[in-house]
Structure 1
Amino acid sequence: MDDRADGGSDGGPEGAVRAWRRQADAAVLLDGFHALKHAVRFGADVPVALAVDRAAVLALAADLAPDVVADLDKLLVEVEQDVLRALVPRLHPTGVAALAGRPARADHLAALRREGRTTPVVVLDNPRNLGNAGAVIRLAAGYGAAGVVTTGSLDPWHPTVVRGGAGLHFATAVERLGADELPRGPLYALGPEGADIRGLKLPDDALLAFGSERNGLSAELRARADQLVSLPMRPQVSSYNLATSVGMTLFHWSAHSTNAP
């Protein structure tokens, strides 16, 4: 992706839109200011970035993320609102969108499978809700987790997932794998009948597995678990939101680990 759209090399706004259309099918959609900010901050390859009001986006960056202002100043090309609206499924309120190259799968797999891994991998077993998956990736990046693995049919790089993750896919390793392809490490599976997490110390190289809110963990992952773990919950409350469960579990790990941020 080398069709840089900085307003000059490819014909200004018209050239930037042409570059977008050429690359959109193979690229990751960065929907909104925060997704673009995090992608730039964590080293993503961003060949084209469009904004309805370029000056407003740069002002927002100066206020919230001054470390990326120079990069955004080089990247952003201003286009009409109707033009940008036609290129994205749902225009973000910040009026900015960009395309990024997806990180190499081999690099992510190497990070997930690295010997002596010092932070957990979050495993989402057949997740169904795109927004929840994005929120989990955002949490995992914030806690410094080694990565997020999904099983099943959901694409963890779907635009809605990336939007929910605020572009923090680029801050950790995110991949879809079969249940038989999971990285090494002791598997801690979250379920209501497990041991209370407050009595456990989660190892740094753990796989932390969470089922969907509707169906829970698959029989395959449950059978492979080294430990079933439960979160404290008031009786007669059915379940926590998936992202809430992941956040509680990662917080518990972080409270007992010297490798947490």
Structure 2
Amino acid sequence: MSPAEPVADPAADPVRRWRRLVGTDTAVLLDGFHALKHAVRFGAEVPVAVTADREAALALADDLAPDVREPLAALLTEVPRATYEALVPRPHPTAVAALAVRPPREANLAALTREPRRAPVVVLDNPRNLGNAGAVIRLAAGFGATGVVTTGTLDPWHPTVVRGGAGLHFATAVERLDVEELPAGPVFALDPEGDDLRGVRLPDDAVLAFGSERAGLSSALRARADHLLALPMRPQVSSYNLATSVAMTLYHWSTTGFPSGT
């Protein structure tokens, strides 16, 4: 190598950058075009993004997300399909993947505790199903909820949860807390023995709590609840899917408390 020849910067190689970041505490895997699209749209920091077909990915942006087409064009680097498939555990049909930076816990806590609150916080009490948690985060972002809190051991930033949320973790505050750490506000907990949801007005600062898919509300959350509410349900039907329950409750809130301009 001649003295005048520039030395390659390892940081400029997206594969090396990926391997340096993946597995760190702050790296969030964005699986697929839609997850990357939403993350960029809502201001995520994305250090590296790859695709096995850059032309196809940008064509998707032209069709579905022209508002973020320019930043996606700047971010996406094409790599061989075999390289792309080696970087991700489950290749996505759009052949797009990226690593984003998880928001600091302090920022999420500040968003969850800011007052006055113009939209509810959704609490998943000891959830078990990663896909359900992701679907709830997607719903919460769509309704403009302040955030989603999980209690228990499930990590709401697990790659499978982020995949289920289509990258919309970056559109709302997502954090894991203990029951005693829940944000202030009246706690409305969903329970089959509660009052009919349709007869209750949910305030904008409500904390809406949903029990786990199998065990329901924990004793700690039940003790913290100010109101128990039940969803309308035909006799002999035992339960709704968790995401469906959250959707019904947020829709009920939206009929009277949905903030304008979101």
**Bin of the TM-score, shorter chain as denominator length:** over 0.9
Give the 4+ runs in structure 1 shifted more than 2 A. Answer: 8-12
State whether residues 123 and 208 of structure 1, in contact with CA within 8 Å, keep that contact through their aligned partners in structure 2. yes
The code of the aligned residue for 2:60 comes to L
Deviation at 1:213, TM superposition (A): 1.6
Rg (Cα) greater in structure: 2
Indicate yes or no: 2:76 matched with 1:73. no
Deviation at 1:224, TM superposition (A): 1.3
The code of the aligned residue for 2:177 comes to L
TM-score normalized by structure 2?
A: 0.94
In structure 1, runs of 5+ residues without a counterpart are 1-7
Secondary structure of 1:238's match?
coil
- Give the structure 2 partner of residue 170 of structure 1: 170
User: What CA distance in whole angstroms lies between the structure 2 residues aligned with 1:140 and 1:9?
Assistant: 41
Deviation at 1:87, TM superposition (A): 1.0
Superposed CA offset, 1:95-154 (max 9, x none): 000000000110110110112111100000000000000000000000000000000000
Deviation at 1:11, TM superposition (A): 7.5
Secondary structure of 2:232's match?
coil
- Give the structure 1 partner of residue 93 of structure 2: 93
Indicate yes or no: 2:244 matched with 1:251. no
Deviation at 1:212, TM superposition (A): 1.1
The code of the aligned residue for 2:16 comes to R
Aligned Cα RMSD in Å?
Answer: 1.2
Indicate yes or no: 2:157 matched with 1:161. no
User: What CA distance in whole angstroms lies between the structure 2 residues aligned with 1:233 and 1:140?
Assistant: 22
State whether residues 213 and 239 of structure 1, in contact with CA within 8 Å, keep that contact through their aligned partners in structure 2. no
User: What CA distance in whole angstroms lies between the structure 1 residues aligned with 2:122 and 2:18?
Assistant: 33
Matches within 5 A, 1:3-42: 15-26=13-24, 27-42=27-42
Matches within 5 A, 1:93-132: 93-132=93-132
Indicate yes or no: 2:152 matched with 1:152. yes
User: What CA distance in whole angstroms lies between the structure 2 residues aligned with 1:233 and 1:121?
Assistant: 24
In structure 2, runs of 5+ residues without a counterpart are 1-7
Identity of aligned residues (%): 71
Superposed CA offset, 1:49-87 (max 9, x none): 000000000000100000011001000000111111111
User: What CA distance in whole angstroms lies between the structure 2 residues aligned with 1:64 and 1:9?
Assistant: 34
Deviation at 1:9, TM superposition (A): 6.7
- Give the structure 1 partner of residue 4 of structure 2: none
- Give the structure 2 partner of residue 210 of structure 1: 210
- Give the structure 2 partner of residue 181 of structure 1: 181
Deviation at 1:258, TM superposition (A): 4.6
Secondary structure of 1:256's match?
helix
State whether residues 121 and 147 of structure 2, in contact with CA within 8 Å, keep that contact through their aligned partners in structure 1. yes
- Give the structure 1 partner of residue 83 of structure 2: 83
TM-score normalized by structure 1?
A: 0.94
Secondary structure of 1:25's match?
coil
User: What CA distance in whole angstroms lies between the structure 2 residues aligned with 1:216 and 1:29?
Assistant: 30
